[in-house]
Amino acid sequence: MTKKDLGLLILILVVGAIVAIINPRFLLPINLANTSNLIGLFGILSIGQAFVIITGGIELSVGSVVALLGTLFIDFIAVRGMGWPVAFVLILVLGAIIGLAHGWLITRLKLQPFVVTLCGLLIYRGVARFYTADGTAGFAFGQNFPDLEFLTAGRSWGVPNSFFALIVISIVMWVVLHRSVFGRYLYAIGKNEEAAKYSGIRTGRVVMAAYVICGVLTALSAIYFAMYTRSISPASHGQFYELYAIAAAVLGGFSLRGGEGSLIGVLLGTVLLQELQNLVNLLGIPSSLNFAVMGGVILIGVLVDQQWGVFRARRRMVDAARKGAVGAAAE
């Protein structure tokens, strides 16, 4: 755990303590369970985003993908009568295909990630609305999928299973990002893509894989979101989720220029964001101020981090100058 992560964790605990003192309902099991469920859902989404951001890219279409794939999933199992495990795998494959398409456009046709995924944001939302004829996708009365519901929206020992899913995914992705050959390539490309290429890394393939990972994790979270809301109106479902994911990564210490950030960081970023949401509700702040609170906190967090960096760089310079002066005097 880096110093940055530790600072974030302390911030989370301090904010939690303050909220708990003002409104003790914060610590009620039902509130904690609800919040951890949301952390699970948004965490899976944010980890996907983090893999793209580490390469210096960005994925703006994830909110629309959550809407489109969620709609399709419910349609597959509720209307078309597909077995849920089949539909589950199919949705993940569709997520992978979307990621592959984005990665291909970005690495082979050299389009900018922002542009490609912005178009994706518009296209997938449009397709989702067309698919349901601007209606709502949902389950018929009495339609039940006990196993699926247990895995996605159920609880074990009072803890939401979505939270367990996030923990499992986090462990796997931590190993991939911080211990695997692929993870090292991701960091190298994010730091300096040219130098990585000159070291014989097939940078195009690696970047494409990052978008595929993002697509698959987004698809998985789309299923979780769908089973959580149980009914989807594609015009609004998942709106702004890409911004939640990007915000979590940025709060967690990721640089949008690439090459910087840790898995623990993005997790803590997600936790802090959901804690803030919860704080708005519990402290009686008008929910219309929701976004303003989040934006404000992120801005302050990034500012403090950046100023801290400037301060340390200056101190290092002063130290070096002092050492240099001493060295010169000794000669």
Partner 1 sequence: MNYSDTSIAATTPFLSLENVRKTYPGVVALDGFSMEVRPGEVIGLVGENGAGKSTLMKILGGVTTPDTGTITVDGTAHNSLSVEGSLGSGIAFVHQELNLFENLDVAANIFFGREPLRAGPLRLVDRAKLRDMVAPLLKRVGANFSADTQVADLSLAQQQMVEIAKALSIKARLVILDEPTSSLPLAETDKLLDVIKALKADGISVIFISHRLHEIERVADRVVVLRDGMLAGTLGKRDINHDQMVKLMIGRMLKEREKASEAARAPGAVALSAKAIRTPTYPGRPVDLDVRRGEILGLAGLVGSGRTELARVFFGIDASLGGALELNGRPLTLGSAADAVAQGIFLVPEDRKLTGILLDLSIAQNISLPNLPAHARRSLVSASAETATAEKQKKDLGIKAPSVQTRTGTLSGGNQQKVVLGKWLAMNPKVMILDEPTRGIDIGAKAEIYGLMRALADAGVAVLMISSDMEEVIGVSDRIAVMHEGQISGILDKDQFSQENVLLLAVGKQPK
Residues that bind partner 1 (CB under 8 A): 175, 179-185, 187-188, 191-192, 194-202, 259
- CB nearer partner 1, residue 130 or residue 198: 198
* Residue 25 Cβ vs partner 1, minimum distance, rounded to whole Å: 44
**Look-up of token digits 């929701």:** 290
Q: How far is the CB of 38 from partner 1 (least distance, A)?
A: 32
**Cβ-based nearer residue to partner 1, 25 or 179:** 179
- Measuring CA to CA, which residue among 187, 230, 245, 269 is closest to residue 61? 245
Minimum CB–partner distance for residue 113 and partner 1 (Å): 21
CB of 110 to partner 1, least distance (A): 15
Least CB distance to partner 1 at residue 189 (A): 10
DSSP secondary structure letters along 26-95 = GGSHHHHHHHHHHHHHHHHHHHHHHHHHHTT-----HHHHHHHHHHHHHIIIIIS---HHHHHHHHHHHH
Identity of the residue, 148 or 213, whose beta carbon is nearer to partner 1 in the bound complex: 213
Task: Give the 3-state secondary structure of residue 15.
Answer: helix
* Shorter beta-carbon distance to partner 1: residue 139 or 187: 187
Identify which of 33, 293, 54, 29 has the alpha carbon closest to the alpha carbon of residue 173: 54
What is the rounded CA–CA span in Å between residue 44 and residue 6? 21
Nearer to partner 1, 234 or 258 (CB): 258
Token pair for residue 282?
A: 């519990």
C-alpha to C-alpha distance for 67 and 218, rounded to whole angstroms:
10
